[in-house]
Amino acid sequence: MPYLTQLANVARRTGQPVTEVAGWQSRGHGPQPEVQGVVCHHTAGPAAGGDYPSLAVVRDGRPGLSGPLSQFGLGRSGHIYVIAAGRCWHNAPSTSPRHANSSSLGIEAENDGSQPWPQEQLDAYRRLCAELCREFGLPASRVKAHREVNTAKPDPHSIDMTEFRAAVAALVAGAPGPSWMKEIMKELPMIRPGDDNHDVKTVRGCLFARGHVPPAAYSGVQNGLEGWLTSTRCDDGLVELVRGFQRAEGIDDDGLIGPRTWAPLLRV
């Protein structure tokens, strides 16, 4: 295998913010020979000091162990740092041949070794593992805690790896996690009366599918229902239907289509 220059794109597929650390594409102790597993770590870095204070250590190493130490860093906020594309010194000796430096990728998540894990960091941790499993064709069972493949290590502390792998497996299988709606919402715009864009068609389609579009709404429209459904304008007639939908859902009938209205429109 060459240097794994696709890793930044893999990280971005999680939907998390990603920083490509300068020089990452050619950083490594030689190229990565193969990827048969993923090893999860905590940095044992400082308890404070921002999102990812261990970046310099993971990139450059520490006395007695030269960097890079891991391909990925994971900040407290769930921000992913892509640090290296080649082999890293994150697990030696390994009790599992599939989780040695030459056969696995490492993720160093910021944590001092005892502080609680923020939920957003845990969510991102699972997503990154899931995307790596997808990219390299691995089952979730290949995601291991460092402590599972190196008995001298404690990390990552307090994460139940059976639960963690079950969540990764669900993500790999495409099952929506609890935060999937939140992720979709981030991508959807606020639509106001008078707006003209393609997302308006989505609103029309959702309202129709939910039975909130009476025939009178489209009887005078050119091409009837089809013409109504494909109009990109948020006109007065549509705003009135949105208000009716909002009242039926028990939310503010302001006619604005923001996160509170998108959620019931898209609910499955």
CA atoms within 13 A of residue 212's CA, in its CB half-sphere = 21
Element (H, E) at 243: helix 236-249
Stretch that binds Zn ion, among 38-46, 52-60, 201-209, 251-259 (CB under 5 A): 38-46
DSSP code at position 190: P
**CA 47 to the chain's CA centroid:** 24
Q: Contact between 147 and Zn ion (CB under 5 A)?
A: no
Strand order in the sheet with 104-109: 18-20, 80-82, 72-74, 104-109, 37-42, 143-145
Stretch that binds Zn ion, among 76-84, 115-123, 140-148, 199-207 (CB under 5 A): 140-148
213-240 b/e with 16+ CB inside 10 Å = b? beeebbeeeeeeeeebbebeebeebbbe
Of 155, 165, 203, 217, which lies in the binding site for Zn ion, with binding defined by CB under 5 A?
A: 155
CB 94 within 8 A of CB 100: yes
Stretch that binds Zn ion, among 16-24, 37-45, 185-193, 224-232 (CB under 5 A): 37-45
Q: Contact between 41 and Zn ion (CB under 5 A)?
A: yes
Q: Contact between 59 and Zn ion (CB under 5 A)?
A: no
Q: Contact between 144 and Zn ion (CB under 5 A)?
A: no
Of 76, 126, 146, 165, which lies in the binding site for Zn ion, with binding defined by CB under 5 A?
A: 146
Q: Contact between 110 and Zn ion (CB under 5 A)?
A: no
Residue 41 CB, shortest distance to Zn ion, in Å, is 3
Which residues form the interface with Zn ion (CB under 5 A)? 41, 146, 155
